[in-house]
Each structure stands twice: as structure tokens, then as C-alpha cells.
């Protein structure tokens, strides 16, 4: 006898309609796998990585020597970014950092490039904005924090616009932009996931945008598997916990994750590393089928049409693009980041210009 949790969630017709997202997700997974080892593909691309490294080094040197100008805003700037390609957990980190700073008496604002944003000028992100206009991550940050969030490719222009509109802001948290040297910064936090620096090669032979030797103030490691932290200075674990799910078609309706135990559950994620989301759900005791979508998947077409599932669990980043859907099976699962108190202390001491111990 087939139990509800063991029956196929994706029917044959649905599998064919989901083929393009699956193929895209599989390609990303394959590339990520190649970047974790120094195999044939990595070595074939290795000469190109030296060219990329030379270009990156020249750019850093240009700003360091003053050949290119770096602008300092009138308030301190914290950059939360990564040295690798792909999602590592920056958005939950930014949300948690905004909350920590606010609890200490600061009035933070947030800057973001806004992936896929289509704007004519620096723009503040309204909680009711369209994700295709401002980007899914800035919209999620605005909704979760209530802080002013501004989007524009030039972080300097975006920061000036933010401060002009919100002069009470006394610190800016930059979502991504570790390599955006045109904006001077006071604190740099690099976020890694369980893949760390991969095979240690720069693009395109590996996942690194810059060498691991690049200076930064702190490292956060987002590893759901709980492995030993790397022996890097000022490195802490980024702890993400899943909160109660809320129904996308009825946001006031919430359910704890054990509610979905024993049901036919499809977990889908259009984030940089969907397996982290799936692993966290399995860690919560759920048996799931999975659908890995490309990062920043726009949900212009519904990949869940005809899915024979009792519940479909997605990330909040994906949910901001599905709020008009009427499918009561789709639930968003929030991820809450817990920051180590020593990291928060380091950030505050640097903002105050005091030496850290």
C-alpha cells in the first residue's frame, strides 16, 4: 500500500512542463560540482582564471593607488558580501544585522543593487513594490526589517539618495557589493556556505571572485551540516533556523513545520544553493520531493501547475514573487539568522573607531 508521503508528487505531465527549470538547475548544480574539485574541467579553464585574477588585481590596485576614486558617505558603511559566486546567505545576514544594530540604538538603512531591477533612478523599495522592478532580495529585506531600502547599481548614488530621504540614518548596510570599490566601507563581512572557497580557483575555473587571501574584517560560515569551521581569523558560524510557514495566498495563516509531516510535500527553491533549504527541511523531520529552480527564478510561469502535492514549501525570497497566487498549497518558510554576539561586538567597535580585542 502506498502512503501519502511516498506517492510521486510530480506527475508525468508536470515533469515535462518543469523540464526547463530542472535542466537549468541541473546545469548550475553541475558547474558548482566542477568548482568543488580540481578536475579536468577546472584545469582546462585554469589559464582563463589567471586572466580574471589579473583583471581583478588591477582593479583593486587602481582604487588603492587612487587612479580610480572611492567615495566615502557621511555615515559608516557595512558591506555584507561574498568572495564566491552564488547565494551563501547574505540576505538573512543583512536582515539580522539590521535588527542587531537597531537594538543597539542605531538607525540603519540598506543599499542593494537589486538583481534584475528595472529602474530609471535610485529608488526606495516599498513593501508593495513589484519584485521584477526592485529585485526579490531588496523587497524581502524591506518587508522583513521595515528599514529604508534603496536600490541602484551605483552604491554611492544610492547611498546619497537614501541619506537625503532619511537623514536620521546613521549607518548603512550594503547587501552585496564586496567588489564595488567605488563605495568606501568601514566594515566588510564575507559570507560563505558549506562549499567555502571550492577548489580555490578564481572564475571561470572555480567559484572565487577574488582570492581567499583578500583582506576582510569577518567571515560567516553558513553550513547546515555543522562541519568544523575553517581556521580563518575572525570567523563565526552563521546559524539559520526555519520559522513557521505562512500560506502565500493567506499570509496571516501560519503552521509549524511538523504540521506537514506525513503529507506529500514538494520543496522548491530558486536560490543560489537550494540544497541548503532542502537539507534544513529534512533536518526538521520532513520527507520531501525537491525542485531546484534557477537562482532568482521569476515565476512568470507556474512550475507547480498539476503538481500532486498536499503542500508546496518555498523560500520567502521566492514567495515575494508569488503573492498574487491563489494556490492554498503554497507555503513560504522563513529563515532566521542568528549572529554571534562577538561578531556584532566587532562591527560596533569598528563603527565607533575603537580597536577590537
Q: Is 317 annotated as a binding residue?
A: no
Residue 278 confidence class, pLDDT cut points 50, 70, 90: very high
Same fold, 42-238+338-351 and 244-333: yes
pLDDT digits (tens, 9 = 90+) for 206-236: 999 999 999 999 999 998 777 889 999 999 9
Which pLDDT score, from 0 to 100, does residue 86 have? 79
pLDDT of residue 344: 96
Q: How far is CA 49 from the centre of its chain?
A: 25
Inform me whether the pLDDT recorded for 322 exceeds 70: yes
Q: What is the mean pLDDT of residues 246-253?
A: 94
Q: What is the CA radius of gyration of the chain?
A: 21
Q: How confident is the model at residue 21 (pLDDT cuts 50, 70, 90)?
A: low
The answer to whether the annotation marks 91 as part of a ligand binding site is yes
pLDDT at 87: 80
CATH class as words, domain 244-333: alpha beta
Domain boundaries, the chain: 42-238+338-351, 244-333
For 42-238+338-351, CATH gives 3.40.50.300
Predicted structure pTM score: 0.88
Model confidence at 295: pLDDT above 80:
yes
Was 177 annotated as part of a binding site?
no
Over the stretch 164-189, which tens digit does the pLDDT of each residue have? Answer: 999 999 999 999 999 999 999 999 99
89 belongs to an annotated ligand binding site: yes
Q: Is the pLDDT of residue 149 over 80?
A: yes
Model confidence at 351: pLDDT above 90: yes
Query: Is position 86 annotated in a ligand binding site?
Result: yes
- Check whether 90 is labelled as a binding-site residue: yes
The answer on whether 321 is annotated among ligand-binding residues is: no
The average confidence (pLDDT) of the chain is 89
| Residue 88 labeled ligand binder | yes
- Does the pLDDT at position 72 exceed 50? yes
pLDDT of residue 208: 96
Amino acid at each position: 500500500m502506498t502512503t501519502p508521503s511516498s506517492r510521486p508528487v510530480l506527475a508525468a505531465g508536470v515533469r515535462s512542463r518543469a523540464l526547463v527549470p530542472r535542466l537549468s538547475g541541473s546545469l548550475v548544480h553541475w558547474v558548482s560540482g566542477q568548482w568543488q574539485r580540481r578536475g579536468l574541467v577546472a584545469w582546462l579553464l585554469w589559464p582563463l582564471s589567471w586572466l580574471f585574477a589579473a583583471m581583478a588585481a588591477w582593479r583593486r590596485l587602481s582604487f588603492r593607488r587612487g587612479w580610480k576614486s572611492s567615495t566615502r558617505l557621511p555615515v559608516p558603511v557595512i558591506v555584507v558580501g561574498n568572495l564566491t559566486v552564488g547565494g551563501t546567505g547574505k540576505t538573512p545576514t543583512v536582515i539580522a544585522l539590521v535588527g542587531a544594530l537597531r537594538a543597539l540604538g542605531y538607525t540603519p538603512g540598506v543599499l542593494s543593487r537589486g538583481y534584475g531591477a528595472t529602474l530609471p533612478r535610485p529608488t526606495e523599495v516599498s513593501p508593495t513594490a513589484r519584485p521584477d522592478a526592485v529585485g526579490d532580495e531588496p523587497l524581502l529585506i524591506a518587508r522583513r526589517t521595515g528599514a529604508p531600502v534603496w536600490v541602484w547599481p551605483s552604491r554611492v548614488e544610492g547611498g546619497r539618495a537614501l541619506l537625503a530621504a532619511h537623514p536620521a540614518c546613521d549607518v548603512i548596510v550594503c547587501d552585496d557589493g564586496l567588489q564595488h570599490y567605488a563605495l568606501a566601507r568601514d566594515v566588510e563581512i564575507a559570507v560563505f556556505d558549506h562549499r567555502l572557497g571550492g577548489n580555490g580557483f578564481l572564475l571561470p575555473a572555480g567559484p572565487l571572485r577574488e582570492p581567499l587571501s583578500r583582506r576582510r574584517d569577518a567571515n560567516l560560515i553558513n553550513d547546515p551540516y555543522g562541519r568544523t569551521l575553517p581556521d580563518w581569523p575572525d570567523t563565526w558560524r552563521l546559524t539559520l533556523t526555519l520559522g513557521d510557514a505562512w500560506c502565500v495566498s493567506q499570509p496571516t495563516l501560519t503552521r509549524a513545520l511538523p504540521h506537514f509531516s506525513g503529507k506529500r510535500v514538494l520543496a522548491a527553491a530558486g536560490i543560489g544553493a537550494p540544497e541548503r533549504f532542502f537539507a534544513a527541511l529534512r533536518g526538521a523531520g520532513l520527507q520531501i520531493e525537491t525542485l531546484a529552480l534557477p537562482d532568482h527564478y521569476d515565476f512568470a510561469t507556474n512550475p507547480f501547475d498539476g503538481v500532486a502535492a498536499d503542500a508546496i514549501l518555498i523560500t520567502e525570497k521566492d514567495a515575494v514573487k508569488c503573492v498574487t497566487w491563489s494556490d492554498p498549497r503554497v507555503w513560504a518558510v522563513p529563515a532566521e539568522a542568528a549572529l554571534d554576539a562577538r561578531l556584532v561586538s566587532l562591527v560596533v567597535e569598528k563603527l565607533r573607531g575603537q580597536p577590537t580585542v
